[in-house]
Amino acid sequence: SFVRELSHFGLQYADSEHSPFTSHHGTSWIRPRICGCVAFIAVLFVNTTHALELLTDYSDGHSHSHGAEEHDDHDSEGNGFGFVPKQYVIVSIFDVALKCLVLALGHIPSMGLHPIPRLILHTLSPTIVIGMYVAGLAIPPWLGESWFWKHIDPVVAVITTILFFFLIIPAFKEMMPYIFADTPAKFHVESFQNEISTTFPDVTCTHIHAYRLWPGNLFEALIHLSFLVDKSKSGWSEEASTRYSEVSQNVTSVLTRAGAQKVVVEPSFLDATEIGRPWIGCVGTTCFRQNRGCCKMDDGRATV
């Protein structure tokens, strides 16, 4: 069968973790991931620059001091040098507990991180909030009145940003093939095209775009096949449709077994006089003739 004939050229993947995910075809799948990465880097950049500005701004009347004069504005009034509201602490405790549960159940992809770095990455911010609240109750007066404690917000922000950068570098390295929609490493495009032509002499694979999906080794594929037909026959379109269904089902079956979550097969039907025509998609009045293929002719104009 076609499955057995194509199984030798590297489409089968090693066992991998198949986690639930949602994906979309084309650029609509890529764009949100790129935007998410850009937004994350932008947040770290803004947070760091603002913290450095606070640490280097010595003008009068501008500081992030948390001395005794500011205690009246916080729920921690009368509790030493604390400045974190109790409501933040409650939310942070719930946040840490929920993330630990989700991580323990395996619902968050590893992103190339070991368990401990992954736990730190997801729980560092709420843990710091809890730590600052406890530290504010326990520090001695000499430390509470020091420059360090009065500027603890920007100092912690800079340290946290540095830690995040070191933690996300391996994560970004792991996600790059998915962000940029790389072809699966074991998907050999030329071998796949040659095997289709060998198995189906009247079919030529003119274009393949396969890209990986997060997480694991799953992928989606867009394939364009050219079918050689005799358009001089009166019933060629029915025969071409049957042939397309047969080839499409076989190709889809092979790729699905190899890990494809979605396979789109776009056909074009070429007469003997059109052999060698390059694949240009479905555009223009010369795309197909007489209401055939993916374009329709209405009043002499082609529509897709």
Profile the chain (304 residues) by mean pLDDT over runs of 10 residues.
Answer: 34 33 45 73 84 73 48 48 83 92 82 79 88 87 84 87 81 76 78 86 87 78 88 85 91 86 88 60 52 48 41
> Is-above-0.95 flag for pTM?
no
Q: Where are the domains of the chain?
A: 2-20+182-303, 27-179
pLDDT attached to residue 191: 84
pLDDT attached to residue 245: 92
CB under 8 Å to 267, separation ≥6 — which residues? 224, 225, 226, 227, 240, 244, 248, 293, 294
pLDDT attached to residue 59: 57
101: which 2 tokens?
Answer: 């549960």
Angle at CA of residue 284, ends 280 and 285, nearest 5° = 130
CB under 8 Å to 215, separation ≥6 — which residues? 17, 19, 21, 109, 178
pLDDT attached to residue 119: 86
pLDDT attached to residue 55: 81
pLDDT attached to residue 19: 33
Q: How many residues does the structure list for the chain?
A: 304
Cβ neighbours, 10 Å, residue 26? 13
pLDDT attached to residue 97: 93
With beta carbons less than 8 A apart as the criterion, state whether 84 and 76 touch. Answer: yes
With beta carbons less than 8 A apart as the criterion, state whether 304 and 283 touch. Answer: yes
User: Does the domain spanning 2-20+182-303 belong to CATH 3.40.190.10?
Assistant: no
Q: Which of 210, 213, 206, 265 is nearest to 241 (CA)?
A: 265
161: which 2 tokens?
Answer: 């940003």
pLDDT attached to residue 246: 92
pLDDT attached to residue 42: 84
